[in-house]
């Protein structure tokens, strides 16, 4: 009977630990998603400017 209680407590403890790990990973994934979106917002103007410059250079080469 005592062994059954010990096993039950071990299972409950394992589930609590796994739940805490899962909750932490979900939070980290959410933070990573927000950081990547912010980085893209910061870099997007530079990428657009680079693309415009490359298009302009290609147009000049084609006309020359």
Q: Is the pLDDT of residue 63 over 80?
A: no
- Tell me, what's the pLDDT at 54? 93
- Tell me, what's the pLDDT at 64? 62
Residue 63 to residues 56, 59, 60: CA-CA distances in angstroms? Answer: 11, 6, 5
Global pTM value:
0.62
- Sign of the alpha-carbon dihedral angle for 45, 47, 51, 57: positive
- Tell me, what's the pLDDT at 25? 98
Indicate the helix (H) or strand (E) that contains 13: helix 2-63
Q: Is the pLDDT of residue 3 over 70?
A: yes
Query: What are the pLDDT digits (tens) for 10-45?
Result: 999 999 999 999 999 999 999 999 999 999 999 999
């Amino acid at each position: 009977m005592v062994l059954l209680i010990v096993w039950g407590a071990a299972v409950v403890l394992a589930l609590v630990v796994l739940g805490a790990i899962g909750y932490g990973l979900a939070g980290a994934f959410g933070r990573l998603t927000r950081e990547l979106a912010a980085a893209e917002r910061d870099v997007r103007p530079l990428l657009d400017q680079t693309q415009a410059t490359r298009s302009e250079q290609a147009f000049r080469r084609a006309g020359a």
